């Protein structure tokens, strides 16, 4: 028999928590918290916001929405360690993890994330779909769609495969998981806490869960609006951090040599130009800005991939590594 929303709420009431780290969330964070307060079908959500010394009213916004605000020293903040502390502060069976600028698009998002876990005791975690903001650069829109888009439910598990037999891209596909919008079973976190890392704590965690025989599901019905408009240099620094992690986690090296770098840059520029030119209804100034940004990104990101995978963890590269990772 199909249960109505009220019955589902009673089933999940008292079982769902939410962690959103904050730092100067601005006006958008207020909209985000309004949508979390409006969630239905899961009962009251216990919310914790670790705040890294916001200079705006983010802490007030979080408190007004019913969240506990936990001050965090920026000097000791890490994406993994800070989330561990916040999860430990929640006494709930299912923990939703999100970010301050990811806007839930429906009042059923929490239920859509949690319901598969409540129904399947062998499922370890879920994560949702990300929809870019209006005006998002076509290159970033394409990437967001490839990583956190799609209309089909996908369950990721190792099954009968051996991790050692998989190609790097196959491994990456199995650990696709993103704390922009995700939910995990607390009991799994108690066995696999987040690594106290400064970047990529989500896929690091997913790798350990998958290799331990766990299952993670992509749930497209749980949708948030989320994207960033960063300078090409800052986007490339994040790519550097990604590839510094990916060579360690899955053995992925996309730019193994300087010769590959020289070939890749013009190919990337041509691909990005085609993505931009395919967009209709854009004024000339915006299109020129998009092309200029993409030309710079094509060069920066290939250097970022090369340096991240090949040099990022070498001791003599440490000063440059720290400079590239600062503030990420």
Spacing of C-alpha 10 from chain mean position: 30
What are the 10-residue block averages of pLDDT along the chain, 328 residues in total?
A: 43 97 97 98 97 96 97 92 97 98 98 98 98 97 97 97 98 98 98 94 98 98 97 98 97 98 98 98 97 98 98 96 93
- Tell which CATH classification among 1.10.357.10, 3.40.50.150, 3.40.640.10, 3.90.550.10 matches the domain 15-225: 3.90.550.10
- Name residues whose C-beta falls within 8 Å of residue 313's C-beta, 6 or more positions apart in sequence: 244, 248, 321
Identify the helix (H) or strand (E) that includes residue 1: none
Look at residue 328 in the predicted model and tell me its pLDDT.
87
Range list of β-strands (E), 87-245:
94-98, 103-104, 125-131, 154-157, 181-185, 215-225
Would you state the pLDDT for residue 11? 92
Distance CA 88, CA 193 (A): 10
Angle between helix 284-310 and 318-325 (nearest 10): 150
The predicted pLDDT at position 10 comes to 62
pLDDT in tens, 215-255: 999 999 999 999 999 999 999 999 999 999 999 999 999 99
| Domain regions of the chain by residue span | 15-225, 232-325
Residue whose C-alpha is closest to residue 82's, from 94, 72, 95, 97: 72
- In tens, the pLDDT along 166-200 reads 999 999 999 999 999 999 999 999 999 999 998 99
Residues near 11 by Cβ (< 8 Å), separated by ≥ 6?
Answer: 3, 118
- Distances from the Cα of 294 to the Cα of 33, 175, 234, angstroms: 33, 28, 13
Helix (H, G, I), strand (E, B) or coil at 251: coil
The dihedral of CA 90, 96, 100, 104: what is its sign? negative
Q: How far apart are CA 186 and CA 195, in angstroms?
A: 15
Whole-prediction pTM: 0.95
Residues 6+ apart with CB under 8 A from 279: 138, 287
């Amino acid at each position: 028999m199909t249960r109505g929303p009220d019955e589902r709420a009673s089933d999940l009431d008292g079982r769902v928590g939410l962690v959103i780290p904050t730092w100067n969330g601005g006006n958008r964070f207020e909209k985000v918290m309004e949508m979390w307060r409006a969630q239905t079908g899961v009962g009251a959500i216990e919310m914790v916001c670790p705040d890294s010394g916001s200079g705006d009213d983010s802490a007030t916004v979080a408190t007004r929405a019913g969240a506990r605000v936990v001050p965090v020293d920026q000097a000791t903040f890490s994406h993994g360690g800070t989330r561990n502390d916040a999860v430990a502060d929640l006494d709930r069976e299912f923990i939703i993890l999100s970010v301050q600028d990811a806007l839930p698009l429906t009042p059923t998002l929490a239920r859509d994330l949690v319901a598969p876990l409540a129904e399947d005791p062998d499922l370890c975690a879920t994560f949702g779909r990300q929809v870019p903001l209006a005006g998002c650069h076509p290159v970033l829109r394409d990437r967001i769609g490839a990583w956190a888009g799609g209309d089909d439910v996908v369950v990721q598990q190792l099954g009968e495969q051996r991790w050692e037999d998989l190609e790097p891209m196959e491994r990456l596909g199995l650990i696709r998981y993103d704390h922009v919008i995700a939910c995990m079973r607390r009991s799994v976190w108690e066995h696999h806490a987040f690594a106290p890392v400064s970047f990529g704590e989500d896929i690091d965690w997913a790798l350990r869960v998958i290799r331990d025989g766990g299952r993670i599901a992509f749930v497209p019905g749980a949708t948030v609006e989320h994207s960033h408009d960063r300078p090409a240099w800052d986007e490339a620094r994040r790519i550097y951090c990604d590839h510094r992690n990916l060579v360690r986690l899955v053995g992925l090296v996309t730019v193994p040599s300087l010769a590959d770098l020289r070939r890749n840059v013009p190919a990337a520029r041509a691909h990005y130009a085609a993505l931009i030119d395919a967009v209709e209804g854009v004024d000339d100034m915006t299109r020129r800005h998009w092309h200029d940004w993409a030309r710079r990104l094509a060069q920066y990101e290939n250097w970022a991939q090369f340096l991240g995978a090949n040099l990022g963890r070498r001791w003599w590269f440490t000063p440059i590594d720290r400079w590239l990772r600062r503030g990420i």
